Structure 1
Amino acid sequence: MRGAKAGGANGRGAAALYAVFFLNGIVLASWAPRIPQVKEQLGLSDGLLGTALLGVALGSVPAMPAAGLLVNRFGSRPVARCAALVYAPAIALPGLAGSLTELLLGLAVLGASVGALDVAMNAHAVDLERRTGRARLSSFHGLFSAGALAGALLGTAAAAGGVGVRTQFTVSAVVGVAAAGLAVAALHPAAPPPPPPPRGRGGGHRGGGAGRLLPLSALGLCVLLVEGVMTDWSSVYLADSLGAGPGPAGAGYAAFALAMTAGRLGGDRAAGRFGPVHVVRWGALSSTAGALVALLSGHPAVSVAAFCVVGLGISASFPLVVGGASRIPGAPAGTAVATVSTTGYFAFLAGPPLIGFLASHSSLRTALFLVPALALAAAALAAALPAPEPGKKIPLPLEETPSGR
């Protein structure tokens, strides 16, 4: 009976965490389709808009390591609860902005809250894996990707239907607060952290943990640079370099995003069967090949299909990086997750401007050859992933055991 109750509680906690990941994706992605309207309402130039969009980075990058320290001190659940309840209403701030300064500050608050939530929810997912012995971090990220797709579709539909920016974001904030409140209330308490290994044995020395985080952070940087570049430039490449119309050009990112979602939902099973190193290495090599085909083919339809391969190849990599960081001896889980998340998120934000800079000095097609180079580097860095914990099983969707249903 006690085991059945524990299984049911863990199942409800897992379902609540899936909801938090989905909420994270849907709220933030609903902002992107409305950027042109916000730009027009405030009368911003492209340069001033770029300055305002830096607010997300200015808020998130310092918030992530701070959240890691708070997770180490208080646990992942209270940090996730606070961050989610700030994040959900923060989406209204960009829509309510009446000036460049207000927009910058609003995006900084949004960035800080989403950065803290990213660290806390990933740390909580790691804790749930440790508690249940079931690998599921990639599927959590799959729900984030699904939420991002849903948010982008909702934002696009609202814009096409003439819904005002302030109206959409105000409604999103109200609904988001209610949904976040329900989800975080059901999160399971964190399990006690495993005891640290003795100093001088098995990597228990602090420097060993920090040293092993460096290649993992580099791996996370590579894969999220690829994701950031593909998110912002895949459709532009199809339209400007290959002459595709609006529909086919838009299909480029849609194919990439759908493949990312599908790959993440199946990433845990693949890692359980073949091992994290093989999944990341062969996935990155597939992404390298797909990117090269997209850049060398010259045909929009072929490039769209190749973008699908790129997305599928790197889909599970970052969740496996987060899980690997949490298993490094001598590195507190909150700090380790915050380190790879901060590095990766910075890369995700910095990648698209870097491509723009390179394209201005050559061509967009030439600049985008950075994508296969980064994917190849990720394949080489895959060996930095620690071995999975003994006894970790392939997950059941949303349930811990049949008795938890």
Structure 2
Amino acid sequence: MSDAASLQAVNARRAVSFFFVLLGTVSGAWAARIPAVKNDLGLSNGQLSFGLLALTGGLVVGMRFAGRLTDRLGSARVLTPAAVATCLAVIPPGYAPTLPLLVAVLFLYGLVNASLDVAMNAHGVEVERVYGRPLMSSFHGMYSVGGLVGAGVGGLFAWLGLGAGPTLATTGITLALASLLAGRHLLPLPPRAADAPRPAARARWSGWIVLIGVVAFAGLVGEGAAVDWTAVYLFEDLGAPQGVAALGFAVFSLAMTAGRFAGDHLVRRLGPVRLVRCSGLLATAGLATALLVGRVPVAIAGFALFGLGLATIVPQVFSAAGNHDPARAGESIAQVATVGYTGLVAGPAIIGGAAEVVGLPAALGIPVLLAAFMTVSAGALRPPR
């Protein structure tokens, strides 16, 4: 590449990294202030679930349109407006005066969140092509970093005694302004597409899309299980003190973040198929060990291995979807995300229901089996010729 093209590629990589941090920060800040929203409105757990389901519904509906919009206009045209809209849409949930309004604004937040998610992953695939090497895992690592930043911001505002509204407004407005600057450094559209919209390119639901979507689903069930059940397992089933029990998810998160930043180097050495196969084996062994040995230090180490194993799965699935048919990258990513993100929502509920019947240790065998499924299904991620 020429010096100008090289600088453009570097700036585009930094811009995409920023947008991943942005979405992680917004999501982390919202998650940190959910208890405050619940308390302000006097909601029960069941009532709060209506709002969270509305957010999920918005994501699912948004995915139906985000992919086609990205393919028609180009990810560079969609990404910045979607980022600004997501930053601003996270503010109203902090000020919603009633449950019906909370449901409505969370649905809207999920809707625009989907557009940002698809557009930034699609543009990440484009930046990968320009670089000629894998970058998607590190992009998703930046999302994890953003989640930690958002959780820290939410915790700081809570410590200062400020409500959910000021937390989300400060976070959203600041990041919306920053996204306007970052958007100037995205890759330009190809000359033939710069002055006219791209032709609508509709990707059909194929068996391959469903299969790699299920691989993403399996990985995200594991992530959801780690979020909701690691501390409960350590505290209630292994008798760990609450402070020690909290380390389970913290260690899992740090291991996952580290694994994502190492993922690009590993996929260059191993290829996506071998990497996902090895990652699935590591995740299977880690969680199975945590459940079978039944000792707190071993369980925490097992959760770390589980996080390392899951770290590269979803980035490789999204990269495979975006590269399979570049003209339909946005819609392919949206279809895979629709299947995969169901795991974040349904997984913890499925495990909770199973735990009522067979106990939590046995119910956590579900993510173990799904990790084994990822191992045997890794061949689906083989790049097209």
Partner of 1:260: 256
Please give the alpha-carbon distance, in whole angstroms, between the structure 1 residues aligned to 2:18 and 2:319: 19
Please give the alpha-carbon distance, in whole angstroms, between the structure 1 residues aligned to 2:245 and 2:159: 18
Q: Contact 2:125/2:323 (CA < 8 Å) preserved in 1? A: no
Q: Relative to structure 1, is the Cα distance of residues 81 and 237 closer, same or farther in structure 2, using a 3 angstrom cutoff?
A: same
Partner of 2:288: 292
Deviation at 1:240, TM superposition (A): 2.2
1:374 equivalent in alignment to 2:362: no
RMSD over aligned Cα, in angstroms?
A: 2.1
Partner of 1:397: none
Q: Contact 1:69/1:335 (CA < 8 Å) preserved in 2? A: yes
Please give the per-residue CA displacement for 1:349-383, whole angstroms capped at 9, x wherever unaligned: 21111111111222122211111111001101101
Deviation at 1:331, TM superposition (A): 7.3
Identity of aligned residues (%): 39
One-letter amino acid of the counterpart of residue 295, structure 1: L
Q: Contact 1:127/1:190 (CA < 8 Å) preserved in 2? A: no
Partner of 2:106: 107
Q: Relative to structure 1, is the Cα distance of residues 179 and 207 closer, same or farther in structure 2, using a 3 angstrom cutoff?
A: closer
One-letter amino acid of the counterpart of residue 216, structure 1: I
Deviation at 1:26, TM superposition (A): 0.8
Instruction: Report 1:41-80 matches (<5 A).
Output: 41-80=40-79
Q: Contact 1:224/1:345 (CA < 8 Å) preserved in 2? A: yes
Partner of 1:248: 244
Q: Which moved more, 1:326-335 or 1:54-63?
A: 326-335
Please give the alpha-carbon distance, in whole angstroms, between the structure 2 residues aligned to 1:96 and 1:386: 47
Partner of 1:395: none
Please give the alpha-carbon distance, in whole angstroms, between the structure 2 residues aligned to 1:107 and 1:361: 32
1:129 equivalent in alignment to 2:128: yes
Q: Which moved more, 1:214-223 or 1:277-286?
A: 214-223
Please give the alpha-carbon distance, in whole angstroms, between the structure 1 residues aligned to 2:277 and 2:41: 45
Instruction: Report 1:24-43 matches (<5 A).
Output: 24-43=23-42
Deviation at 1:277, TM superposition (A): 0.7
Deviation at 1:185, TM superposition (A): 2.6
Partner of 1:281: 277
Please give the alpha-carbon distance, in whole angstroms, between the structure 1 residues aligned to 2:157 and 2:325: 48
Q: Relative to structure 1, is the Cα distance of residues 192 and 314 closer, same or farther in structure 2, using a 3 angstrom cutoff?
A: farther
Please give the alpha-carbon distance, in whole angstroms, between the structure 1 residues aligned to 2:291 and 2:158: 32
One-letter amino acid of the counterpart of residue 115, structure 1: A
Deviation at 1:88, TM superposition (A): 0.7
Please give the per-residue CA displacement for 1:158-180, whole angstroms capped at 9, x wherever unaligned: 22332222221121122121122
Q: Relative to structure 1, is the Cα distance of residues 264 and 180 closer, same or farther in structure 2, using a 3 angstrom cutoff?
A: same
Q: Relative to structure 1, is the Cα distance of residues 53 and 329 closer, same or farther in structure 2, using a 3 angstrom cutoff?
A: closer
Please give the per-residue CA displacement for 1:243-278, whole angstroms capped at 9, x wherever unaligned: 222321221111111111111111111011011111
Q: Relative to structure 1, is the Cα distance of residues 192 and 265 closer, same or farther in structure 2, using a 3 angstrom cutoff?
A: farther
Partner of 2:209: 213
Structure 1 residues without counterparts, runs of 5 or longer: 194-205, 390-405
Instruction: Report 1:104-183 matches (<5 A).
Output: 104-183=103-182
Structure 2 residues without counterparts, runs of 5 or longer: 193-201
Deviation at 1:153, TM superposition (A): 2.2
Please give the per-residue CA displacement for 1:9-68, whole angstroms capped at 9, x wherever unaligned: 111111111000011101111111222221111111111111211111110011013110
Deviation at 1:70, TM superposition (A): 0.6
Partner of 2:345: 349
Q: Which moved more, 1:347-356 or 1:376-385?
A: 347-356
One-letter amino acid of the counterpart of residue 305, structure 1: A
TM-score if structure 2 supplies the norm length?
Answer: 0.93
The 3-state SS of whatever aligns with 1:180 is: helix
1:326 equivalent in alignment to 2:322: yes
Deviation at 1:289, TM superposition (A): 0.7
One-letter amino acid of the counterpart of residue 44, structure 1: L
Deviation at 1:208, TM superposition (A): 9.4
Q: Relative to structure 1, is the Cα distance of residues 191 and 241 closer, same or farther in structure 2, using a 3 angstrom cutoff?
A: farther
Q: Contact 2:203/2:332 (CA < 8 Å) preserved in 1? A: no
Deviation at 1:318, TM superposition (A): 0.8
